[in-house]
Structure formats: C-alpha cells, structure tokens
Amino acid sequence: MIGSTRALSVWACAVPADMRRSFDGLAAMATSALGREPLSGDMFLFVSRNRHQAKVLFWDGTGLCIFAKRLEKGRFGAPWLGKPDRSWKLTVSELQLFLEGSQLVGKAPLSPPEFSF
C-alpha cells in the first residue's frame, strides 16, 4: 500500500460503486455520495456491489491516483451493510487491513483514537 507520513482520513462509501468508473467518476461520487472534496488529500474507498473489487482514490498533491484491487477468492468486508450512514471514516491502518481481507474493520476498534493537542 502506498503510504504517507502525514495523518490521512479515509472515507469509505457505503453505496456500491461501478468499478468501470475512473478518476472523474470516482471524484464525482466522492463529492455527491460522501459530501467530501476529492482534492482535499483524503483517501476515498469504493467497493463494488458484489464486493470482489475495491478502488481507493486519493490526491497526492500533483494529481489524482487510483489504487485498485480485485479478490480472486472471497469478498471484501462490508461493515456498512444495514447501517443508514452513507460513509465511514477509517484510518490508513484500517484501510490496509480492509484491503488485506480483515473482517474486523468497522466492527471493533483497530486504531487508537486520533491525537489532538
């Protein structure tokens, strides 16, 4: 996973995404479904309806990047199923666990609370 030395927020979209979408389509979905600015530097996670594919959209400061993963076996977890919220906030560590197939993401605290001054 491409990492960063700064604290990033990861927003997971609870609405299934069409994996044919690319930069502009996913950026529009980040704005409409999540109510977030795609050029903010945050990461945005989108999962297909059958949960075999996922894409992460992020702005690296010079352009939009997409990280895509397709599972050959199993499905990505879906902690948002049955929940009315349209977005979930994750940490970068939780995103990495999610992309590795962890079913605990969203069900149990996996990261310490955010540090504030």
Three-state SS for the chain is: CCCCCCCCCEEEECCCCCCCCCHHHHHHHHHHCCCCCHHHCCEEEEECCCCCEEEEEEECCCCEEEEEEECCCCCCCCCCCCCCCCEEEECHHHHHHHHCCCCCCCCCCCCCCCCCC
Where are the chain's structural domains?
Answer: 10-99
Question: Going residue by residue through the chain (117 aa), what tens digit of pLDDT does each one get?
Answer: 555 545 788 999 988 899 999 999 999 999 998 999 999 999 999 999 999 999 999 999 999 999 999 999 888 887 777 665 667 888 888 888 888 877 666 555 555 566 666
**pTM for the whole thing?**
0.81
